[in-house]
Every structure is written in structure tokens, then in C-alpha cells.
Amino acid sequence: MSSFLRQLKSYSLIWLTFLVMSSISLYRWQFAPEPTLAAPANGTTLQCTVSKVIDGDSIIAKCPEGKLEIRLHGIDAPEMGQKPWGQRAKKALKNLVAKQSVRIEITDTDRYGRSVSSLYIHQQDVALALIEQGWVTVYHQYNDKPEYAAAENQARAKKHGIWSTNGAQQQPSKWRKYHNP
């Protein structure tokens, strides 16, 4: 009888080890971080799903090849430290793109390694929509599209979003010079 109990104990230990190792493997497989995509070449077009909105002008997209951090081309959103404007810009972007399939057109890579890109849902230019809503400014240093400037002028005239109140939220790049976001 005692040899039977020893054998049973031995098998129990083997099964317990197997279950623990299987659980660890399953956990790693299920929750493993996705590989980060190296910045694709300028001119590349990708179809991806937005997995996270970082702030009013940056997202993380889940692409077939891995995740990709995107900085929207041609716009500048208030920083998250510019309360409540940064949070409002982020919410506006989230309302447009969260969990949506988007077309990404890579235009450049910024100094932080993010892919600077135009983003489209169906045929809608996401950056232009944010400008029209008044949550971001045109980044004139990098963008000379007349439709963006016209949309910003219209948002200002109608006092949409950041244009509803005068302040630093209207010049995020100038605010960044004096604050380290």
C-alpha cells in the first residue's frame, strides 16, 4: 500500500508540474506583447486597427506585422499637461478612431521613432476632422495643405474646441518650449 501511495504522489507531482507549466505557457501566449514594427518606409500604406489613443495626435495601431506608433501628420494637439485641452483632444481622437480599421499612409519618421502618417477611416481624413472640430491646430511648420488652413480658420471663427477660449492651448508647440511634457 505504501508503494502505491508513493507512486500516486509521484504522478500527482508530475501532473501538477505539467499543469503549472501549461498555464504559464498559455498565459505568455495569450498576453505576450506584440512585436513593435520598425518604422515603415515613407510612402508605405497599411491597413491596421487602432489599439490605443495616446493623446490628441498620437495612436498605437495594431497591424498584421506588429504594432506601430503613429504621430498624425500636419497637426499639433494640446499636450496632456494643458488641462483640460489635452484630455479633450485625446477624447475627440478616440471618438473618431478607437478600435476602428484605418488606412495609414506613412509620410516620415519623427525624432522619437514614430511613423508620421496621414490616417483615414473610409475616406475621412482624421487630422482634418480634428481641425474642423477645433481640437488641434495645423502644424504649419510641417503642413501647407490649404484645406487644413481653411478648416482651422473656420473652427476659429466658430470658436470650436480650443478656439472657444484664448490661451496656450492654441499654441501647443510654444507651450512645449516652456514646459517639459
All three cell numbers of 100: 476602428
Residue 174 within any structural domain of the chain: yes
Q: Is the pLDDT of residue 1 over 70?
A: no
Considering the domain architecture, whether residues 107 and 173 belong to the same structural domain is answered as yes
Tell which wins on pLDDT, 62 or 141. 62
CB 127 within 8 A of CB 74: yes
Q: Which domain holds residue 16?
A: 1-32
Considering the domain architecture, whether residues 4 and 62 belong to the same structural domain is answered as no
Query: Could you give the number of structural domains in the chain?
Result: 2
Q: Give the range among 94-103, 139-148, 166-175 with minimum mean pLDDT.
A: 166-175
The mean pLDDT value of the chain amounts to 86
Catalytically active residues are 71, 79, 114
Residue 4 within any structural domain of the chain: yes
Residue 134 within any structural domain of the chain: yes
Considering the domain architecture, whether residues 1 and 89 belong to the same structural domain is answered as no
Q: CATH number, domain at 110? A: 2.40.50.90
Residue 100 within any structural domain of the chain: yes
Q: What is the pLDDT of residue 40?
A: 84
Q: What is the pLDDT of residue 121?
A: 96
Tell which wins on pLDDT, 18 or 124. 124
Considering the domain architecture, whether residues 81 and 168 belong to the same structural domain is answered as yes
pLDDT > 70: percent of the chain: 81
Q: Is the pLDDT of residue 84 over 90?
A: yes
Considering the domain architecture, whether residues 97 and 19 belong to the same structural domain is answered as no
With a CB cutoff of 8 Å and minimum separation 6, the contacts of 157 are: none
Confidence of residue 117 (pLDDT cuts 50, 70, 90): very high
Residue 40 within any structural domain of the chain: no
Q: What is the pLDDT of residue 6?
A: 65
CA-based nearest residue to 75, from 57, 88, 98: 57
Considering the domain architecture, whether residues 56 and 133 belong to the same structural domain is answered as yes
Considering the domain architecture, whether residues 104 and 153 belong to the same structural domain is answered as yes
Residue 39 within any structural domain of the chain: no
Residue 118 within any structural domain of the chain: yes
pTM of the model: 0.79
Q: Is the pLDDT of residue 33 over 60?
A: no
CA angle at 87 for the pair 52 and 42, rounded to the nearest 5°? 45
Q: What is the pLDDT of residue 25?
A: 64
Q: Give the range among 28-42, 70-84, 85-99, 132-146 with minimum mean pLDDT.
A: 28-42
Considering the domain architecture, whether residues 145 and 72 belong to the same structural domain is answered as yes
Q: What is the pLDDT of residue 124?
A: 95
Considering the domain architecture, whether residues 10 and 58 belong to the same structural domain is answered as no
Considering the domain architecture, whether residues 80 and 162 belong to the same structural domain is answered as yes
